[in-house]
Structure 1
Amino acid sequence: MAEGRDKEELKVAEFHKRIKDAFEVFDHELNNTVDVREIGTIVRSLGCCPSEGELHDLLAEVEEEEPTGYIRYEKFLPVMTKVLLEGRYRPIPDDVLLQAFETLDSAKRGFLTKEELIKYMTEEGAGRCSKWRLWWFSWWMMSWTPALQIQQPSPLCWGQLRSFLYHR
């Protein structure tokens, strides 16, 4: 029984270190606070993939009663530790992502071109435009392309997308 408690304590200590490290990246004033707008990035950098609604709920847990626009580390740490211990906001499993990628890669080349991404993210399906696809693609073009160091018109391959999504 003591061994199980020791494992749990080690896990919690590891989570605390990861949370502190991620939080400190955005603590620009070095006062144990971060801008509320950075919380989503911090949570995602810890391997969690909450929906916008789930992120909103998480923010409600960590914000002050009178919102200041900043989140204090002392309030964030216990909430995020609980999230990690419970395994909340898990990412989509690799096999599901790979299946989706392979569905789009109908030629089985192992990559998607910029033009294919534009087509898949902007074409209408079943008589209605999918706004989330438009949002996702514009976010990808602004955020992922520099981080992936893709030189236009280089294709996006599965390995690049997977490693970027999961920071592996």
Structure 2
Amino acid sequence: MARKEEPKIQPNNDLEKKIIEAFEVFDHSGKQIVDVREIGTILRSLGCCPTEAEIQEVILATENKEATGNIPLANFLPYMCKVMIERRFYPASAEMLLAAFRYFDKEGCGYLTKERFTQLMIEEGEPFTQEELDEMMQTALDPVTNTITYEYYINQLMVAPRNVYEIAYKLEEERKRLEEAAAKKRDATSLLRSLQN
């Protein structure tokens, strides 16, 4: 007997909508399942900045236990909602990025050469893949000077569409407000009941 197809997961709020949209870009089968190798890209498309170890943590927490190598949306969505509300994998601020660039700009020129930038991205900290580096260069590299004017690059990074973390923050604030309102209502109801007795 053929297995019945699961109904598509529908978003309950803007945060879930953004996560589902990012997930579906890599759901090539249309069955709300992605290959584990896509998780890092999905996380980064959501504005997250995870390390490779953190990507593995997400995979371990959300991977389909019966069909390893796949991540179902049903596992990924609740996990990522929690991650976003907790502000895990949050990107660095513009000030932190600027301080890092200035640290490596020993001459104080306001830019790094393509070669120096490439060296730093491949050799320092958690290394970037060539594909990640090429994608970064599309935005970072000034094709005329062949340098990365880092203040301009940071501004390019900061001009992002509505940040998913902002949506998560607003959602959490609304949840807290509703909980407080419910608690006040319970307190008022309890007080009225005690007066009746």
Same fold (TM over 0.5): yes
- For 1:45, the equivalent position in structure 2 comes to 45
Matches within 5 A, 1:68-79: 68-79=68-79
In 2, distance between residues paired with 1:78 and 1:134?
28
Measure how far apart 1:104 and its partner are: 1.7
C-alpha deviations, 1:37-91, integer Å up to 9, x for none?
0111111211222222222111111111134322111111101011111111112
In 2, distance between residues paired with 1:18 and 1:56?
22
Paired letter, 2:22: A
Native 8 Å contact 1:118 1:137 kept in 2: no
C-alpha deviations, 1:9-43, integer Å up to 9, x for none?
xxx71211110111111112222111110111111
Please state whether the residue corresponding to 2:13 is helix, strand or coil.
helix
TM norm structure 1: 0.72
Please state whether the residue corresponding to 2:29 is helix, strand or coil.
coil
Please state whether the residue corresponding to 2:34 is helix, strand or coil.
strand
In 1, distance between residues paired with 2:37 and 2:136?
19
Please state whether the residue corresponding to 2:143 is helix, strand or coil.
coil
Specify the structure having the higher radius of gyration (Cα): 2
In 1, distance between residues paired with 2:76 and 2:113?
40
In 1, distance between residues paired with 2:69 and 2:144?
38
- For 2:134, the equivalent position in structure 1 comes to 142
Q: Does 1:82 align with 2:74?
A: no
Unpaired segments of 5 or more residues in structure 2?
1-11, 161-197
Pairing partner for 1:156 from 141, 148, 162: 148
Against the structure 1 CA distance between its residues 21 and 56, is the aligned structure 2 distance closer, same or farther, given a 3 Å change threshold?
Answer: same
Against the structure 1 CA distance between its residues 119 and 40, is the aligned structure 2 distance closer, same or farther, given a 3 Å change threshold?
Answer: closer
Paired letter, 1:37: R
Measure how far apart 1:101 and its partner are: 0.4
TM norm structure 2: 0.63
Could you tell me the percent identity over the aligned residues? 36
Measure how far apart 1:156 and its partner are: 1.2
- For 1:7, the equivalent position in structure 2 comes to none
Unpaired segments of 5 or more residues in structure 1?
1-11, 123-130
Measure how far apart 1:96 and its partner are: 1.6
Q: Give the RMSD, CA atoms, in angstroms.
A: 2.9
Matches within 5 A, 1:1-168: 13-118=13-118, 120=120, 131-132=123-124, 135-136=127-128, 138=130, 140-146=132-138, 148=140, 151=143, 154-159=146-151, 161-162=153-154, 168=160
Measure how far apart 1:153 and its partner are: 5.8
Measure how far apart 1:137 and its partner are: 7.5
When the two structures are aligned, how many residues end up with a matched partner?
149
- For 2:185, the equivalent position in structure 1 comes to none
Against the structure 1 CA distance between its residues 149 and 23, is the aligned structure 2 distance closer, same or farther, given a 3 Å change threshold?
Answer: farther
In 2, distance between residues paired with 1:153 and 1:42?
32
Paired letter, 1:156: I
